[in-house]
């Protein structure tokens, strides 16, 4: 049994709009917030805005929100934009935020960007937690339920995973897995599931336990989106990878223990020759026919094919495509990978055997495919 879960969050802030202020209007005093209000606004921004506008507020899918731009708009105009959205694609937030929260957020994005913390391997290992040691895992299912027909359901705002028995349609259990789980993917047998929360917390779940339990966790970033497991050859279920938005990197972990093993930064030079500090990992996918993962580095406009057969001599093909990379899927042969470059209104096509780009197709505005889109293709 395979379960695919997609969570979509509206995160726009000021897409597609340009405003100007007459030069003769005097500059207002620098915007300020109390420490308490600042922390609240920073949290709101992380939860609802950073996905489109970036932790550093330089913009990506959404416009840049640095003080040089936002102060020209002013407090009232920013509050209106956050409240009702824009014609450029940003949704309204008056159904999520109170008027007071909107005012705080409007002030916050006029202030200088607080420097976000980095996170290295040593810090990740400090945050790595084992709840049940692998030696103590059960040797057979400890319940009589048909675990191969469990449905794994993301309870995003509750910070939980719900497990439903597909035979009886009853809830088996709910597990605490951290803030806003974005994606979860399974081991080759389907027994273990690995989750990635937007707070960078990765969890490992064992379906054989009664009830199923989280057996280990590791935090690999402060903001993250995706996870994948090694499924090929002798490396089957040996490694798991987590992709970070901030810090912009990916982390390879031991799939059995969840110990973080290797960190690789994705900062670099994009397809236009510009250095990008906030080059985020939008998605990661296991490649069925090779010991590799496909890593979408959003702002670089590059797919990185990461070979996990030798972690000490890590081989990475940096494949130029278009910006900004998002979600994708394999064709029925499981050789060719397709992914959206939504800011370029394109789908990109890659051959995972030759590890090269083989095509690019113009689409409608901001294509956003799901993992199950492969079902639209026949197998004959």
Domains contained in the chain, number:
2
pLDDT tens readout for residues 16-32: 433 344 433 445 578 99
- Asked whether residue 290 falls in the same domain as residue 156, the answer is yes
Are 361 and 350 within 8 A, CB to CB? no
- Asked whether residue 327 falls in the same domain as residue 211, the answer is yes
Which residue from 137, 263, 253 is spatially nearest to 192, judged by alpha carbons?
A: 137
Residue % of the chain over a pLDDT of 70: 90
What amino acid positions are annotated as catalytic residues?
49, 52-53, 90, 326, 368
Using pLDDT thresholds of 50, 70 and 90, give the confidence band for residue 15. very low
Give yes or no for residue 316 having a pLDDT over 90. Answer: yes
- Asked whether residue 69 falls in the same domain as residue 146, the answer is no
The DSSP element (H or E) to which 67 belongs, if any, is helix 67-73
Taking residues 267-280, report their average pLDDT. Answer: 97
CATH of residue 152: 2.140.10.20
- Asked whether residue 294 falls in the same domain as residue 150, the answer is yes
pLDDT tens readout for residues 73-112: 999 999 999 999 998 789 999 999 999 999 999 999 999 9
DSSP codes joined into one string, 74-93: -HHHHHHHHHH--TTSPPP-
- Asked whether residue 181 falls in the same domain as residue 84, the answer is no
Give yes or no for residue 359 having a pLDDT over 70. Answer: yes
Are 344 and 322 within 8 A, CB to CB? yes
Taking residues 164-183, report their average pLDDT. Answer: 95
The DSSP element (H or E) to which 275 belongs, if any, is strand 275-276
- Asked whether residue 11 falls in the same domain as residue 64, the answer is yes
Residue 28: what pLDDT?
A: 57
- Please give the Cα distance from 128 to 259 (Å, whole number): 7
Domain termination site, one of 73, 95, 115: 115
Taking residues 267-285, report their average pLDDT. Answer: 97
CATH of residue 79: 1.10.760.10
- Asked whether residue 302 falls in the same domain as residue 206, the answer is yes
For 44, the domain range is 1-115
- Please give the Cα distance from 116 to 133 (Å, whole number): 33
- Asked whether residue 90 falls in the same domain as residue 133, the answer is no
């Amino acid at each position: 049994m395979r379960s695919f879960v997609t969570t979509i969050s509206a995160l726009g802030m000021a897409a597609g709009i340009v405003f100007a202020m007459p030069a003769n209007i005097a500059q207002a005093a620098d915007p300020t917030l109390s420490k308490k209000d600042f922390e609240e606004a920073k949290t709101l921004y992380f939860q609802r805005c950073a996905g489109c506008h970036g932790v550093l507020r330089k913009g990506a899918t959404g416009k840049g929100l640095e003080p040089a731009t936002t102060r020209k708009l002013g407090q009232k105009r920013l509050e209106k934009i956050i409240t009702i959205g824009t014609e450029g694609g940003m949704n309204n937030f008056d159904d999520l935020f109170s008027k007071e929260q909107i005012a705080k957020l409007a002030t916050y994005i006029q202030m200088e960007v607080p420097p976000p913390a980095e996170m290295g391997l040593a810090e990740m290992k400090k945050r790595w937690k084992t709840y049940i040691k692998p030696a103590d895992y059960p040797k057979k299912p400890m319940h009589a339920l048909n675990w191969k027909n469990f449905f794994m359901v993301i309870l995003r705002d509750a910070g939980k995973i719900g497990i439903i028995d597909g035979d009886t349609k009853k809830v088996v259990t709910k597990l605490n897995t951290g803030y806003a789980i974005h994606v979860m993917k399974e081991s080759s047998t389907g027994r273990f599931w690995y989750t990635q929360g937007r707070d960078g917390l990765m969890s490992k779940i064992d379906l054989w336990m009664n009830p199923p339990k989280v057996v280990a966790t590791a935090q690999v970033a402060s903001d993250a989106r995706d996870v994948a497991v090694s499924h090929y050859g002798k490396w089957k279920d040996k490694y798991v990878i987590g992709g970070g938005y901030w810090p912009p990197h990916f982390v390879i972990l031991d799939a059995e223990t969840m110990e973080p093993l290797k960190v690789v930064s994705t900062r670099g030079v994009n397809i236009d020759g510009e250095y990008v500090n906030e080059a985020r990992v939008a998605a990661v996918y296991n490649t069925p026919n090779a010991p590799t993962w496909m890593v979408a580095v959003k702002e670089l406009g590059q797919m990185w094919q990461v070979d996990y057969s030798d972690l000490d001599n890590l081989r990475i093909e940096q494949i130029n495509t278009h910006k900004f990379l998002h979600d994708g899927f394999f064709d029925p042969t499981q050789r060719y990978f397709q992914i959206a470059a939504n800011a370029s209104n394109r789908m990109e096509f890659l051959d995972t055997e030759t590890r090269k780009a083989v095509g690019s197709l113009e689409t409608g505005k901001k294509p956003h495919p799901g993992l199950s889109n492969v079902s639209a293709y026949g197998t004959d």
